[in-house]
């Protein structure tokens, strides 16, 4: 008679997932005062270590995505809450793209990905979940990094906590102008 082994229970930690699940039906993008979540984070006075801000420049900053598609998912955005790319000032535009380039360099140094996605979703129909505050997504990618968990269980598996990711990205962040 064949002997069958008992299946091993594997645990996947997705600590951010409970916040996401509990927020279904809640507008995470805007608070009661109509300000974006990013504007509220900036106004909170909390230290960057608690908010996962990984870089601050004069006009733009970079923060980890609280609900990342992959480890290292960085968002680059102006401090000023603006929805449309064409509404940025010239100085904001220049700094936004310099900061995006620095994010690419930091992620390449910290994670050595096979590729990266860089993009903007303008407007809710385009996929902009926080469409009132323009932000550029920068995320490292690896062959096979999207697996069955997303399709079957609507869950992403992330191998490290956001605070660890933030520390790695901060350490790898290049000085602008280099």
Catalytic residues: 135
Report strand pairing: 115-119 vs 136-141.
antiparallel
Residue 76 near residue 138, CB atoms below 8 Å: yes
141-154 in b/e form (b: 16+ CB < 10 A) is beeebeeeeeeeee
H helix and E strand count, the chain: 6, 5
């Amino acid at each position: 008679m064949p002997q069958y082994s008992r299946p091993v229970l594997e645990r996947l930690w997705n600590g951010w997932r409970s916040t996401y699940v509990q927020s279904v039906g809640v507008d995470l993008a805007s608070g009661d005062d109509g300000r974006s979540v990013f504007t509220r984070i900036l106004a909170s006075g909390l230290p960057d270590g608690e908010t996962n801000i990984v870089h601050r420049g004069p006009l733009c900053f970079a923060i980890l995505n609280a609900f990342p598609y992959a480890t290292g998912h960085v968002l680059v955005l102006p401090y000023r809450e603006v929805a449309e790319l064409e509404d940025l000032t010239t100085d904001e535009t220049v700094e936004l793209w310099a900061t995006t380039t620095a994010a690419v360099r930091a992620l390449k140094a910290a994670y050595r990905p096979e590729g990266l996605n860089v993009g903007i979703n303008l407007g809710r129909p385009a996929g902009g979940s926080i469409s009132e505050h323009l932000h550029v997504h920068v995320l490292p990618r690896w062959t096979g990094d999207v697996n069955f968990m997303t399709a079957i269980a609507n869950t992403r598996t992330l191998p490290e906590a956001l605070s660890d990711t933030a520390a790695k990205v901060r350490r790898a962040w290049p000085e602008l102008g280099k």
